[in-house]
């Protein structure tokens, strides 16, 4: 008589954070999300797969701060909630990492579904709608592309013509005075949490 087969153990789908939270990647809840975990993770995730000039990697946290600043130039009198959304636009990467666009295309819709679930939980945690208004998403995407153009030309070795082909050439008034900061993970982590707190104060005020 054949022996009964045991049920295969389900693979672990959660990650324990330094805050002590245990985040389920397949079914994330806002209760397990802390800004300190997001800031810490993003400060250690390199943009452009680390292929940037300088002695420090250009982190997703640094990129997020730049996107939020550019968003403020695009919509200077807009609702501060959407500036917070711009700061958090890549927040899921604190647990799933940063994939360059060609890799995302190769992975397919599963990556987007995972990113969408995490984004919704993060938004709800900080008082934003789980799904952002279309107009806000478009402005954030515009700010993201402007940031990518700056990063590509100043840090990642792209010629301006090549960067413009992929990201579009930004209007000069949206990039004037903006430089590429390269800071230690500790410093950019603090800058990210400080900016998050300042935006919450603006929203509450």
Domains and CATH numbers, the chain: 33-204 (1.10.3210.10)
Query: How large a percentage of the chain has pLDDT more than 90?
Result: 78
DSSP calls for the chain: -PPPPPPPPPPP-EEE-TTS-EEESSS--GGG--HHHHHHHHHTPBGGGG--SSSS--BHHHHHHHHHHHHHHHSTTS-HHHHHHHHTTTTTHHHH----HHHHHHH-HHHHHHHHHHHHHHHHHTT--SS--HHHHHHHHHHHHHHHHHHHHHTS---HHHHHHHH-PPPHHHHTT-------HHHHHHHHHHHHHHHHHHHH-
Q: Quote the longest CA-to-CA distance of the chain.
A: 78
22 - beta bridge partners?
A: 16
Nearest alpha-carbon partner for 93 in 115, 125, 116, 68: 115
Rounded to whole angstroms, the Cα distance separating 138 from 155 reads 25
Query: How large a percentage of the chain has pLDDT more than 70?
Result: 90
CB atoms within 10 A of CB 134: 8
Rounded to whole angstroms, the Cα distance separating 58 from 184 reads 9
Tell whether pTM > 0.85.
yes
pLDDT tens per residue, range 62-82 = 999 999 999 999 999 999 999
pLDDT tens per residue, range 89-142 = 999 999 988 776 666 666 666 778 888 999 999 999 999 999 999 999 999 999
Rounded to whole angstroms, the Cα distance separating 24 from 96 reads 12
Rounded to whole angstroms, the Cα distance separating 98 from 103 reads 10
């Amino acid at each position: 008589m054949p022996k009964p087969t045991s049920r295969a153990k389900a693979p672990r789908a959660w990650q324990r954070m330094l805050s002590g939270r245990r985040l389920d990647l397949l079914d994330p809840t806002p209760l397990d999300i802390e800004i300190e975990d997001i800031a810490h993770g993003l400060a250690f995730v390199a943009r452009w797969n680390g292929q940037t000039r300088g002695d420090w990697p250009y982190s997703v946290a640094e990129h997020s701060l730049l996107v939020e600043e550019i968003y403020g130039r695009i919509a200077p009198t807009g609702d501060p909630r959407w500036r917070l959304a711009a700061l958090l636009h890549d927040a899921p990467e604190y647990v799933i990492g940063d994939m360059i666009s060609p890799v995302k295309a190769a992975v397919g819709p599963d990556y987007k579904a995972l990113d969408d679930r995490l984004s919704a939980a993060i938004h709800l945690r900080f008082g934003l709608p789980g799904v952002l208004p279309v107009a806000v998403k478009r402005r954030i995407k515009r700010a993201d592309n402007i940031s990518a153009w700056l990063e590509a030309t100043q840090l990642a070795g792209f010629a301006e013509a090549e960067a413009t082909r992929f990201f579009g050439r930004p209007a000069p008034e949206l990039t004037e005075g903006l430089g590429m900061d390269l800071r230690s993970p500790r410093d950019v982590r603090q800058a990210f949490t400080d900016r998050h707190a300042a935006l919450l104060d603006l929203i509450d005020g």
